[in-house]
Every structure is written in C-alpha cells, then in structure tokens.
Amino acid sequence: MPEKLHPNIEKVASVLVEHNVSGEIVVFEEATPTAATAAAQLGCEVGAIANSLIFDADGEPLLVLTSGAHRVNTDLIAKTVGAAKVKRATPDFVRAATGQVIGGVAPIGHPAPIRTLVDTWLDKHEVVWAAAGHPHTVFPTSFAELVRITGGAPVEVE
C-alpha cells in the first residue's frame, strides 16, 4: 500500500478499525469503478461485489448495498422505505452525501449516517468485496458484517 493514502481511504480504514473489521483494504493500480472491473481484478464472481449505490429518496440520501449481479428496482425500494420517489442520485448529490466519488463509494466513512439497505443476495457469498472510499480500493467483508457496520436493513432489491 502507498505510504500516503487518500483521506477517504484513511477515513474508511479508521471506521473499519473502530468496528473491529479484520479485512484489509486492497489498493489497485487501475481504478475499478464497476462491479465487473473489480471482480476481474479480484478473480471473483461479479455477484460478490457489494455496489454502494446512492439514491435520492424524496430528497434524502439512501445507500443501497447491492450485489454486482443485481439491478436495483427503484419502485420496490421506494415501497420498502416509504418514499414517494427513489431515483439515481447525481454525482454532486453522491459527493455531498458521502464525501466520496461514484465508483469508489464505501458503505462507511461518510460525513453523517446514511439510511442503508443491504441486498440479501450478498449473503450467498462467504466473502463480499466493497469499495473503500476511492475507485482504486476495496475491502473484504461479509453480508452479516456489512449489516453490522452500516446499521443497514437486509432487503431484496430486485
């Protein structure tokens, strides 16, 4: 790992330590902004990648941690959270809510807590990989650990 890490990576690493997460952050030479590119770099199934997707739920940020093999059904998610409308967030909305850029959004390390939903399909994988605050980074975790460290609610997303 480089000597000086991006502040977002340092923040995520700090939160991982606070939550007693043993998995270490992996830094890639190339960016891995999609589940497919991350899975290719890691040599795992795309379904084992936990995409951190920020949605705009009636003007409030909503984080959906979904398997890289799934698409989020926004109508289903709106019903699940009791929102009139859930839509994909703009890059500026994502950065404002998380302090991170699309392609590297971690499930943790945000300026303020974000309501979080965790795709139950991730539980099919012993090891799940999530972004660590920057498009060049991921960390290993599990479905149960993601629920624990995010305070997320397990749900079906599609």
Report pLDDT digits (tens) over 82-141.
999 999 999 999 999 999 999 999 999 999 999 999 999 999 999 999 999 999 999 999
To the question of domain 7-155 being in CATH 3.90.960.10, the answer is yes
What's 80's DSSP letter? H
Q: Domain ranges for the chain, please list them.
A: 7-155
CA distance 127 to 49: 9
What is the reported pTM?
0.94
